Structure 1
Amino acid sequence: MYLKITRLALTFLSGLILPAAAMAQSSKKDITINASGIQMVLNYDHQASITSLTVGGQTVISGAGGVFTSVTMDGTVYSSQHLNTSPVLLKTKNTIKLNGIQYGPVTENWTFTISSQNIKWRIERSNTKALKVDEAAFPAFNFDNINTWEGAYQGYGGLAWFYLFNEKLCTYGIHTRSSDFWNSKNNTGLNITVDAPGKNVCMKYSRTNGDKLAYTIGVSDKEMQYKMDTGTNRRRFIRQRTDVWAPYIIPAGKSYQTIKLSYFNFNQKYGRGKLKGIDSTAVSAVLNTIARIGVIDSLHFGGNSWHTPYGPICLHEQYIGQLGLGINDPKYLKGYQSCLDFYRDHAIKPDGRVYPRWAYTNEDAMPGKFNQYGFYEAQWGILMDSNPDLVTNVAELYDMSGDKTWVKTHQLSCEKALDWILKRDSNHNGLVEMMTNDQSEKKSSDWIDIIWASYENAFVNAKLYHALVKWAAIERLLNNNTKAGYYEDFAARLKTSFNKSTKDGGFWDEEKGCYVHWIAKDKTVHGTNMVTPVNFMAIAYGICDDGARRKTILDNIETQMQQEKLFFWPIAMTTYAPGEGNGWQFPFPNYENGDLFLSWGSIGVKAYAAYSPALALKYVKNVLNQYSKDGLAFQRYGRLKQDGLGDDILSGNSLAIVGLYQAIYGINPEYNRLYLDPHITPELEGTSLNYRFRNERLVVNLEHDKYAVSNSRFKMVAQTDFGFFATKTRLSYFNGNNANAALQITSAKPLTIEIKNWDASKMEWLQTSAPSSSPVTYTVHQLKPNSAYTYSVDGNFVKSIQSNTSGDLVISRKSSAGTKLITISSKK
């Protein structure tokens, strides 16, 4: 029977957890520890182990094989579960200490510090001589079932998804210091974070022979290496074994680490708000799982799952950064920063060529065309889109993070990558040329890697245009106007040539009503079969600004979609011609000659959103409906049966849902603001989204012609697209997609601003606030310099005021309670 220590007891009252902790002890030498949402039983009877763990009222570990430390040397396991003598227990007000835990050559002292927020478990370890260990657990957690948790989010934004541990002894090892275990069905979450100063931390997840989930933390002086990494095999996920890590040395001496365990409510931490008119549970599930599945390890982000035996990363995918928009986790953004640093340092050749791929093995590489880090040229051809795509991903991530210091570290490498491919324009028409002249060479040049696109390739040039536009803007922010002008000029020439008819050397096929895939050196036209990524990119990236062309493309695609009753856009609407692709792509439809690849969902949704939001939403819903049927657990879908094909799960399968966020909800993070540009349908009205921006949770409300963004202090409302940014005391309004603030309001108190009108002659807004003794200061920008304006409140003239030489004016007034109409008008 446990003796309760009431002064440290956790008190539960009307569902509230009060800030206290509890410990209880029995004659069997175990003690119960309570902290907010967590209860554990620590046994110290000739052992040191946690034999029970309850999180959020759910028992996740029960039994003797719970949580312990161990080392394995020469096949012998030494463990804190089996000790010759019992450790010594010491208790204070909020700490429990176990001293003298000795197993094999290791001696440990454990200290548990209990607070209302978490339990901190400090492990002090010593060994008198260096130890060569096969494996070590510092510590190991044995959760009761592989399904106890749905998955674990990693400290760098990746995911260990236990749905994919589809056989016993599956094991996944990664480098991280933090795991968020979660179960959306019971809304329970457990964060485990390791603090080990000066050490490297890794984690391993295994499905045991008894269908438990074994989770093991490793701490070492040097970064842990993979046992199967022989230079040509870099597998993080293995089957039918658990020894993912190579043996290593634990030096003689003392070390320590602290493991923090804390409970979280899954919906509060990862919930996405109130999504009207759509399956919000499916939206959340797709973005929380599938979108992350291409994050293989802390420095390897891509689109292909870590689960596949091949495990490739395609650096020629421009949407890996964009996935972060939908995932909306600061850890993903920070992790991808580190990944792009790694790519910058190891995936770019000295001449600027960007390797297009990385994989567990070299089997997909051109002979000899790979480096020691696993990056390589693909056997299918020189895939040119890796150069612009690396730049695009850096630029997209900069928009989401706003980290100017970081993006500057990529300036030279991105310039090098762009300059390498821009030199491929030998005829100076603004279109870069591939390494092959025509399809007879049977080599590819882009993501559609077994279609023999050659010479002037619209797919690659569309991606290049997008990269040039985005990077030129960054060059201006980095004060390199010369480079910015060069890239802008090249982009303009590219756009002009791209839009020319095929008769004039461009990509627009007037007869077919689409942009073609490529033009060979002999001027023959190829890929006239409405290749959807090419045409969607032309629209979504702003290359095609001809309304009639957009209508022709989008209407023709939709007509055929209805005729075939396809749930998603195929990679090409009709067949490539014989000889334009690998022979096994024929007869149509087959694989890259006509199958359905969901990875092009975001540009498809964006292409349709401004033209017909209802059509864009239809395909988002179709993808969510497919998720409810099969979990989108495939590489692609067949054209004839619309059945899942391929043994991989692509993170790109989530991109239609990313498109929902970006193009329909209109959420577009920019380097200095959140730009909101919705294209919603009536059924989506009333949507209220939780969205993290600059590590702050915002709420985005969407009604018909009335959009709002708010944080805990300020709220901005407008009838059209606008930009929002706020600090502790300042709210900034950006008119439309202008990158410069039009209005900045400084206030010590919370307030709501609703823009009623904003043009050159009149700026008007409603302000709602509580009374305050501190004044509210308005700074209006982008006015006519040295010009006269009137300032009115609720239609009553207050005073005349003049803008300065920069076109700014400043007004300060006391904040009275209620709603006031503020008007700034130019004098006639």
Structure 2
Amino acid sequence: MSTNKSITSLLLMLLLLISATGSKANTIADDKSISIGTPKIAITLAYGGKAQITSLSVNEQKVVSNADGVFTSVKVDGKVYSSLHLNAKPALQQSAGKTTLNGIRYGDKDLTITENWIFTKKGSDITWQVERTFSKAAKIEEAAMPVINFDNINTWEGAYQGYGGLAWFYLFNEKLCTYGVHTRSTNFWNSKTGNGLNITVNAPGKAVAMKYTRTNDDKLAYSVTVSDKQMIPKSDSGTNRRLFLRKRTDVWAPFQAPALKNSQSITFSYFDYNDKYGRGKLAGLNGAQVNAVLGTIARIGVIDSLHFGGNSWATPYGPICLHEQYIGQLGLGINDPAYLKGYESCLDFYRDHAIQPDGRVYSRWAYTNEDAAPGQFNKDGFYEAQWGILMDSNPDIVTNVAELYNMTGDKAWVKTHQASCEKALAWIMKRDGNNNGLVEMMTDSQNQKKSSDWIDIIWASYENAFVNAKLYHALVEWAVVERQLNNPEKATYYENFAAKLKASFNKPTSEGGLWDEEKQCYVHWRDKDNSIHGRNMVTPVNFMAIAYGICGDKNRTKLILDNIEAQMQREKLFFWPLAMTSYEPAEGKEYQFPFPEYENGDLFLSWGSVAVAAYASYDPTLAVKYVKNVLEQYSKDGLAYQRYGRQKQDGRGDDILSGNSLSIVGLYQAIYGINPLYNRFYLDPHITPELAGTELKYNYQGQRLTIGLDNDSYTVSNNKFKVTSPKSFGFNATANLLSYFNGNEDKAALTVTSTQSLTIKINNWSDGKIEWVQSKGAASTTPLTYRVSKLKSNENYTVAIAGKIIGKKKSDAKGELSFNRIASAASENISISHAN
């Protein structure tokens, strides 16, 4: 039977075959049904001549009510066997909270499959356990264990995978689109109904795969496959690893099933979409659009459980660019613990398979090897691009590890990446052959016509500002991690290299640097012969220089940002292009000319986060303007393109980049000021008046935080503690300990031990005077314990309540002092001042 038929078509052919052969399955009559329900999940089980779930409701919405329903099925030697056609009637048994269907047998004289189905209700969930035995070992061509045929491809908008990826049914834009993934859990959701359905598979010792198919009759067929070994793509011959197919359903290769009894269970659970994935109140912006962009576009570069990148899994050759420093940063905006955990596993895989023995990090991975330089790939699909050695993959893997660690605080995990990150940095730092702090590319001249960075058909060579800016960022980020891992010597080494790089980067081009006095911008690169190239205001280079702190000159910052904005106004562009004017003809591949064309001047949204960060502290109004522009574009076309043309600002390219969401990620990080760090949640807002009144919900290291953003008043709270401050601060809380960090300091300035809920409003925190107002949730005789840090060592301080001195304390050698206080439920003003 042809593999390009839908499951429905296969079953119709099977029915014809059964009718022609006079199978006993056709003589079984008296089908019955029984309802099994909880407050949120309800199913109807039919049995007799078949075993099938004919109806599934989620929060009283029927999501399965079609003839195909839910059943189990396998295909062996071209034959399809399913629980829709049984060899004998199964036996039903019921007890409190449990329904069992025993003796489900289907197959023929060549192969018989025997199953027992046990349904158990627990709270609002239903667990369906399947015990299965094959009469003999068999090579399974396709398996549905089970298949759930949802009524329509639009029943759900998408399904979030257990590792944080997304099966987005918007991209299933024709019949028989099929997408396969390796996961044990999926969350189907619909933002319009607010309903969500979690399906979790428990199969100890087994591998689990899932696939999603738009059927010929526009249903959504969701199939689970359980096997002894991990499922591999059917087309995998060592050069093709494709997981998304068009006009086919056979994404998985055949696998061997032994003649042994095995068991698996599937749990159906309801969740409220807004409770689980809602983002709160976004004043001044369309919150639904923000949520949609971060919930869909931002996730589509996650191809599978071990493959996170920026290019959609629907792309024909599915590339992942390891030379993208913002994949971890996407997690800040996505804000799903599953994404962060999944990306940890992905980076483990990259550490073990994408880093070569000498420390060089392969720049890409893809479904196929068609984009690889001849012979420059490995068996796991990682490769060097045909365009050149794209050297930014080395700093970028380090940046992604460091930023993911900040979000999770998982020191044990980041420790496992210490050696590999040091190795990756060592490889690229050795490229500073002339000892000026700027590392050199593998090519010396544009005439070699090879690229060296993300802008991969522009011939950037020798001392490349794009790569060096990324390296600076990686060194600064990783130095912090090295200190956390008790390696201050290595941290200092990276900091010193970064300082040297920064100094040379900022020198005028006439003095060996990268600042162009005439063009008033940082250039893209310098060739070994000292010729200067990319003088055309390459925006990622200049935005990174500002956002990453390389450019510390306020006048330069103003020149760059004002000049860019002036041209944006003249051309009325909705987003920043890769370059404001044209490269020279010899600086890039021929078809990049005449300007503007593709990487020579088109609009790539992937650089939105660094652009927003560059403008946020200079003029947040401009940053917010472009965030709104991107949201407006989303309302028109869903950002469903690789890039936008310069002249018509029309969508171009057959891929959707997850980077199209990055200006919205920038909104979260640079405008809202959300910066999760390894030991604190750091809030550093740059909001505009129209955004005042924003109240965000945010997941941070196992807690659900509420972030309030108002004019000069910022708040972070969990379900017990709350801190408000007129300026940036850090927050951390455990069961009975609240920690306040002053500004971006990495050590808590104040800790309070309390068994009661507690609110603290910081009024002043300076060397001379510390003052806060606090209130408790209820009166208690249990004292609060305070520890104040970052004071002068061995100095006297007075502690006052409502202006009345209650005692004097001397700080210790570390500049810390402690005191206890039995506080009332009413507000109290506490101050600590240096005693004269």
Q: Shorter-chain TM-score category?
A: over 0.9
- 2:523·2:536 contact (CA, 8 Å) conserved in 1? yes
Query: Are residues 1:515 and 2:518 paired?
Result: no
| Distance in 2 separating the partners of 1:592 and 1:812 | 62
Q: 2:736 aligns with which of 729, 733, 742?
A: 729
| Distance in 2 separating the partners of 1:614 and 1:86 | 70
Query: Which residue of structure 2 lines up, in the alignment, with residue 787 of structure 1?
Result: 795
Query: Which residue of structure 2 lines up, in the alignment, with residue 739 of structure 1?
Result: 746
Q: 1:649 aligns with which of 650, 656, 659?
A: 656
Query: Which residue of structure 1 lines up, in the alignment, with residue 134 of structure 2?
Result: 127
Deviations, residues 128-175 of structure 1 (Å, cap 9, x unaligned): 421211111111100011111100000000000000001111100010
Structure 1 counterpart SS, 2:271? strand
- After TM superposition, the structure 1 = structure 2 runs for residues 688-707 of structure 1, keeping only pairs within 5 Å, are 688-707=695-714
Q: 1:813 aligns with which of 804, 817, 821?
A: 821
| Distance in 2 separating the partners of 1:176 and 1:552 | 49
Tell me the amino acid that sits aligned with residue 699 of structure 2: R
Query: Which residue of structure 2 lines up, in the alignment, with residue 68 of structure 1?
Result: 71
- Post-superposition offset of 1:813: 1.0
| Distance in 2 separating the partners of 1:76 and 1:127 | 15
Tell me the amino acid that sits aligned with residue 69 of structure 1: T
- 2:505·2:513 contact (CA, 8 Å) conserved in 1? yes
Query: Are residues 1:94 and 2:97 paired?
Result: yes
- 1:790·1:826 contact (CA, 8 Å) conserved in 2? yes
- Note the aligned Cα RMSD (angstroms): 0.8
Structure 2 counterpart SS, 1:579? helix
| Distance in 2 separating the partners of 1:773 and 1:651 | 53
| Distance in 2 separating the partners of 1:773 and 1:48 | 63
- After TM superposition, the structure 1 = structure 2 runs for residues 702-721 of structure 1, keeping only pairs within 5 Å, are 702-721=709-728
| Distance in 1 separating the partners of 2:752 and 2:394 | 42
| Distance in 2 separating the partners of 1:74 and 1:537 | 57
Query: Are residues 1:623 and 2:626 paired?
Result: no
Query: Which residue of structure 1 lines up, in the alignment, with residue 243 of structure 2?
Result: 236
Query: Which residue of structure 1 lines up, in the alignment, with residue 24 of structure 2?
Result: none
Query: Unaligned stretches of 5+ in structure 1?
Result: 1-26
- 1:195·1:257 contact (CA, 8 Å) conserved in 2? yes
Structure 1 counterpart SS, 2:401? helix
| Distance in 2 separating the partners of 1:743 and 1:36 | 46
Query: Which residue of structure 1 lines up, in the alignment, with residue 341 of structure 2?
Result: 334
Deviations, residues 634-675 of structure 1 (Å, cap 9, x unaligned): 000000000000000000000000000000000001010110
Query: Which residue of structure 2 lines up, in the alignment, with residue 280 of structure 1?
Result: 287
Q: 1:49 aligns with which of 52, 56, 60?
A: 52
State which drifts further: 770-779 or 221-230.
770-779
State which drifts further: 377-386 or 32-41.
32-41
- 2:31·2:50 contact (CA, 8 Å) conserved in 1? no
Deviations, residues 536-564 of structure 1 (Å, cap 9, x unaligned): 00000000010000000000000000000
| Distance in 2 separating the partners of 1:57 and 1:684 | 37
Query: Are residues 1:314 and 2:321 paired?
Result: yes
Query: Are residues 1:803 and 2:811 paired?
Result: yes
Query: Which residue of structure 1 lines up, in the alignment, with residue 16 of structure 2?
Result: none
| Distance in 1 separating the partners of 2:401 and 2:825 | 45
Query: Which residue of structure 2 lines up, in the alignment, with residue 137 of structure 1?
Result: 144
| Distance in 1 separating the partners of 2:200 and 2:823 | 45
Tell me the amino acid that sits aligned with residue 725 of structure 2: A
- 1:36·1:263 contact (CA, 8 Å) conserved in 2? no
Query: Which residue of structure 1 lines up, in the alignment, with residue 686 of structure 2?
Result: 679
- 2:442·2:462 contact (CA, 8 Å) conserved in 1? yes
| Distance in 2 separating the partners of 1:651 and 1:36 | 37
| Distance in 1 separating the partners of 2:249 and 2:631 | 35
Q: 1:213 aligns with which of 216, 220, 245?
A: 220
Tell me the amino acid that sits aligned with residue 66 of structure 2: G
- 2:234·2:253 contact (CA, 8 Å) conserved in 1? yes
State which drifts further: 50-59 or 645-654.
50-59
Query: Which residue of structure 2 lines up, in the alignment, with residue 3 of structure 1?
Result: none
| Distance in 2 separating the partners of 1:776 and 1:139 | 56
| Distance in 2 separating the partners of 1:293 and 1:168 | 20
Deviations, residues 328-381 of structure 1 (Å, cap 9, x unaligned): 000000000000000000000000000000001111100000000000000000
- After TM superposition, the structure 1 = structure 2 runs for residues 461-480 of structure 1, keeping only pairs within 5 Å, are 461-480=468-487
- 1:108·1:124 contact (CA, 8 Å) conserved in 2? yes
- Post-superposition offset of 1:791: 0.8
Deviations, residues 16-40 of structure 1 (Å, cap 9, x unaligned): xxxxxxxxxxx95211111132111
Structure 2 counterpart SS, 1:152? strand
Q: 2:783 aligns with which of 758, 767, 775?
A: 775
| Distance in 2 separating the partners of 1:65 and 1:172 | 20
Query: Are residues 1:608 and 2:615 paired?
Result: yes
| Distance in 2 separating the partners of 1:337 and 1:434 | 29
Tell me the amino acid that sits aligned with residue 53 of structure 1: L
State which drifts further: 649-658 or 111-120.
111-120
Deviations, residues 53-91 of structure 1 (Å, cap 9, x unaligned): 111222111133111111110111111111122211111
| Distance in 1 separating the partners of 2:595 and 2:702 | 48
| Distance in 2 separating the partners of 1:550 and 1:352 | 35
- After TM superposition, the structure 1 = structure 2 runs for residues 254-403 of structure 1, keeping only pairs within 5 Å, are 254-403=261-410
| Distance in 2 separating the partners of 1:287 and 1:173 | 22
Query: Which residue of structure 1 lines up, in the alignment, with residue 168 of structure 2?
Result: 161
| Distance in 1 separating the partners of 2:117 and 2:789 | 60
Tell me the amino acid that sits aligned with residue 497 of structure 2: F
Query: Which residue of structure 1 lines up, in the alignment, with residue 9 of structure 2?
Result: none
- Post-superposition offset of 1:116: 2.2
Structure 1 counterpart SS, 2:791? coil
- 2:312·2:318 contact (CA, 8 Å) conserved in 1? yes
Deviations, residues 573-616 of structure 1 (Å, cap 9, x unaligned): 00001200001101000000000000000000000000001000
Query: Which residue of structure 2 lines up, in the alignment, with residue 7 of structure 1?
Result: none
Tell me the amino acid that sits aligned with residue 72 of structure 1: K
Query: Which residue of structure 1 lines up, in the alignment, with residue 770 of structure 2?
Result: 763
Q: 1:112 aligns with which of 115, 119, 123?
A: 119
Query: Which residue of structure 2 lines up, in the alignment, with residue 405 of structure 1?
Result: 412
Tell me the amino acid that sits aligned with residue 720 of structure 2: R
- 2:55·2:65 contact (CA, 8 Å) conserved in 1? yes
Q: 1:172 aligns with which of 175, 179, 184?
A: 179
Count of aligned residue pairs for this structure pair: 802
Structure 2 counterpart SS, 1:791? strand
Deviations, residues 217-237 of structure 1 (Å, cap 9, x unaligned): 010110011101111111000
- 1:175·1:203 contact (CA, 8 Å) conserved in 2? yes
Structure 2 counterpart SS, 1:421? helix
Query: Unaligned stretches of 5+ in structure 2?
Result: 1-29
| Distance in 2 separating the partners of 1:811 and 1:771 | 19
Deviations, residues 82-139 of structure 1 (Å, cap 9, x unaligned): 1122211111111111111111221111111112221111111122421211111111
Query: Which residue of structure 2 lines up, in the alignment, with residue 204 of structure 1?
Result: 211
Tell me the amino acid that sits aligned with residue 582 of structure 2: T
Query: Are residues 1:33 and 2:36 paired?
Result: yes
Query: Which residue of structure 2 lines up, in the alignment, with residue 752 of structure 1?
Result: 759
| Distance in 2 separating the partners of 1:712 and 1:117 | 25
| Distance in 2 separating the partners of 1:86 and 1:699 | 55
| Distance in 1 separating the partners of 2:793 and 2:490 | 30
TM-score, normalization by structure 2:
0.95
Structure 2 counterpart SS, 1:740? coil
Tell me the amino acid that sits aligned with residue 141 of structure 1: I
Q: 2:461 aligns with which of 436, 440, 454?
A: 454
TM-score, normalization by structure 1:
0.96
Structure 1 counterpart SS, 2:793? coil
Query: Which residue of structure 1 lines up, in the alignment, with residue 835 of structure 2?
Result: 827
Tell me the amino acid that sits aligned with residue 698 of structure 2: Y
| Distance in 2 separating the partners of 1:761 and 1:367 | 66
- Post-superposition offset of 1:761: 1.7
- 2:707·2:714 contact (CA, 8 Å) conserved in 1? yes
Percent identity reads 68
- After TM superposition, the structure 1 = structure 2 runs for residues 183-194 of structure 1, keeping only pairs within 5 Å, are 183-194=190-201
Tell me the amino acid that sits aligned with residue 303 of structure 1: G
Structure 2 counterpart SS, 1:382? coil
